[in-house]
Chains A and B, each alone.
Chain A
Amino acid sequence: MTIRNNLRQTVAGVPNPKYDLFIHQQTLFKFWSFIGKYYQGELLQNTDLLHTTLREFTDFIKPRNPKLVEGLELISTITNSELQNVIFDYNQLFIGPDKLLAPPYESAYCSPEGLLMQDETLAVRSFYFKAGLEVSNKGQIPDDHLGLEAEFLAYLLWNQRISLEECTVGDNDAGTFQQMYSQFINQHIITWIFDHCNDVIKHSTTNVCRAIALIMYGVLDLEKHCLV
């Protein structure tokens, strides 16, 4: 990955603030991409790959709060038998057929009824639309499924990086993506993600799902303090 001049760590000997932002966004991008794939059901067919990916978290996520510490530690304790059982754990948390122990939908936590396809779903749909996107199976899969929301956030971060890298139209484009990212996190993630992570931590039967929830909690805990 080539880093252009404007993204060098120092420029003419002076630390480049855009570089810190760049690295921060890279971390978040890796994180949200992972969450998107995980909640959309990928990475579960190949548990070795899942395990490898999780172990790499320690490379790029610094344990800056208790939840992150605990989550990263848990990853090192994951056993083979747990990996075998991760699919059952995942299903009883997020899929079914029984009542979901940790429904991965914003409206399940935020709507006054705990129902799906409510006002929150439609607010998320408008947000995607503003960014020029919509759900591939619109109307059938709720727009506020965490897998989709995570994919959306990764999409915003990706485009932000491209803008930063290629310096397109000055800084404005990167700024727009940054703004959309902050807004989405504040309006549609912070409002429910901690309850969701707590449900996973409470009900999970494998350290795999639990670790991911702890890390997500930890990352969002940091994010909510950083964002204005």
Chain B
Amino acid sequence: MGKQLGFLVDSERCIGCHSCEMACKNYYQLHPSLRRRKVHPIQENDYSMPERNYMSLACNHCVEPECMRVCPVGAYSKRDDGIVMHDPSRCIGCKMCIMACPYQVPQFDPEVKKVDKCKMCAQLIDKGEKPACVAGCPMEAIQIIDITSFNKYGAVKLLPGFPNPSITKPSVRFIKPTIGKQIRRDK
């Protein structure tokens, strides 16, 4: 099996500050409605005690990308390193990929009337640099890993609220947030 690059999202380190989202928007000077990376709050009821936890998601560069499968004009392609690329010059804005993706990753750019999506800053990776979100996280909570050889104890394939990974086999791994001891007054 070849290489499959993906994101390691450490929700224990993550403080939900949105710097990763903004670092991406800043790098590409995106339209305000386009959030290639989104920081999603995790429902507090999904944990034993209420806490403020987040899951930062961009494109999952799936092993079996639905977007690529349904695109009628072949605008999607998967590189040897596993990054799923979208070619705006071929895109006709039909939005099939938007409907097909279980993670709502592709977004419609209202100005150019085409789809927009995270490409893991492939051009930076090719130069040996880090993607904007990885470089822009104050907590170093996002890393690029090779899913095929990644083997960290405690890493999981999903967090509460994340769609079933068996559909498209997303290349993302998470470190669960730990809940500390809480002395509360609302018992």
What are the residues of chain A within 8 A of B29 when measuring CB–CB?
Answer: 112-113, 115, 118
Distance in Å from the Cβ of B173 to the closest Cβ of chain A?
32
Chain A: interface residue total (CB-CB under 8 A): 7
The answer to whether B128 has its CB under 8 Å from any CB of chain A is no
The answer to whether A28 has its CB under 8 Å from any CB of chain B is no
The answer to whether A17 has its CB under 8 Å from any CB of chain B is no
Distance in Å from the Cβ of B117 to the closest Cβ of chain A?
15
**How far apart sit A30 and B34, CA to CA, in the bound complex (Å)?**
42
The answer to whether A110 has its CB under 8 Å from any CB of chain B is yes
The answer to whether A114 has its CB under 8 Å from any CB of chain B is yes
- Kindly report which residue of chain B lies nearest to residue A114, judged by CB atoms: B32
Chain B: interface residue total (CB-CB under 8 A): 8
0/1 interface trace, chain A 108-125, chain B, CB 8 Å (1 if under):
001111110010000000
The answer to whether B156 has its CB under 8 Å from any CB of chain A is no
Distance in Å from the Cβ of B33 to the closest Cβ of chain A?
9
- Kindly report which residue of chain B lies nearest to residue A111, judged by CB atoms: B111
What are the residues of chain A within 8 A of B73 when measuring CB–CB?
Answer: none
B residues 69-101 near A (Cβ < 8 Å) are none
- Kindly report which residue of chain A lies nearest to residue B31, judged by CB atoms: A112
- Kindly report which residue of chain A lies nearest to residue B111, judged by CB atoms: A112
A residues 93-144 near B (Cβ < 8 Å) are 110-115, 118
A residues 144-187 near B (Cβ < 8 Å) are none
Distance in Å from the Cβ of A192 to the closest Cβ of chain B?
11
B interface list, Cβ under 8 A from A: 29-32, 34, 109, 111-112
Identify the 8 closest CB pairs spanning chains A and B, nearest first. Answer: A112-B31, A112-B111, A113-B31, A113-B32, A113-B29, A112-B109, A112-B30, A112-B112
Known: A112-B31, A112-B109. 14 other contacts (CB 8 A): A110-B111, A111-B111, A112-B29, A112-B30, A112-B34, A112-B111, A112-B112, A113-B29, A113-B30, A113-B31, A113-B32, A114-B32, A115-B29, A118-B29
Interface pairs (16), CB distance under 8 Å: A110-B111, A111-B111, A112-B29, A112-B30, A112-B31, A112-B34, A112-B109, A112-B111, A112-B112, A113-B29, A113-B30, A113-B31, A113-B32, A114-B32, A115-B29, A118-B29
